[in-house]
């Protein structure tokens, strides 16, 4: 016990809820949902204006899919569902792998290492964090 009469176990149980680094995750998911929604609108406008190409159609499909997945992920997070960490880590890895592929196709070498490193860091955080284990239990 420490001077406040708390054991390390009771302090660990206090680490729950959308606080700490999970606030950054929440903000990121909201921004990504908005970004993919805007990408979707831009692609639809391009199609309406007659700019039909395979790139626009592929971008539209991926934008819709990722917008829906990030919105679903946000719903899981805000409801503290135990499935959230798995879904979020899967989206991070899928996004990183697609980022590597797209980076190679369009020659964007700088986005690839940052995306991959941040995915590794967030994966370790979600696996090791006591806050994550205590928050997503429903």
pLDDT for 6 equals 55
pLDDT for 30 equals 93
pLDDT for 126 equals 92
Low-confidence ranges of the chain (pLDDT < 70): 1-13, 15, 106, 108-112
pLDDT for 22 equals 87
Does this model's pTM top 0.85? My answer is no
What is the per-residue pLDDT across 49-67, written as a single tens digit (0 to 9) for each? 888 888 778 878 888 998 9
pLDDT for 69 equals 93
3-state SS string over the chain? CCCCCCCHHHHHHHCCCCCCHHHHHHHHHHHHHHHHHHHHHHHHHHHHCCCCCHHHHHHHHHHHHHHHHHHHHHHHHHCCCCCHHHHHHHHHHHHHHHHHHHHHHHCCCCHHHHHHHHHHHHHHHHHHCHHHHHHCCC
pLDDT for 91 equals 92
pLDDT for 27 equals 93
């Amino acid at each position: 016990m420490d001077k406040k009469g708390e054991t390390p176990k009771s302090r660990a149980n206090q680490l729950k809820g959308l606080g700490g680094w999970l606030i950054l995750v929440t903000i990121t998911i909201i921004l990504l949902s908005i970004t993919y929604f805007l990408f979707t609108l831009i692609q639809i406008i391009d199609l309406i204006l007659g700019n039909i190409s395979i790139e626009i159609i592929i971008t539209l499909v991926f934008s819709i899919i990722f917008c829906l997945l990030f919105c679903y992920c946000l719903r899981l997070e805000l409801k503290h569902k135990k499935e959230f960490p798995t879904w979020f880590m899967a989206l991070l890895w899928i996004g990183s792998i697609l980022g590597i592929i797209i980076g190679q196709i369009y020659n964007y070498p700088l986005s690839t290492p940052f995306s991959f490193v941040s995915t590794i860091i967030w994966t370790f955080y979600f696996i090791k964090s006591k806050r994550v284990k205590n928050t997503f239990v429903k």
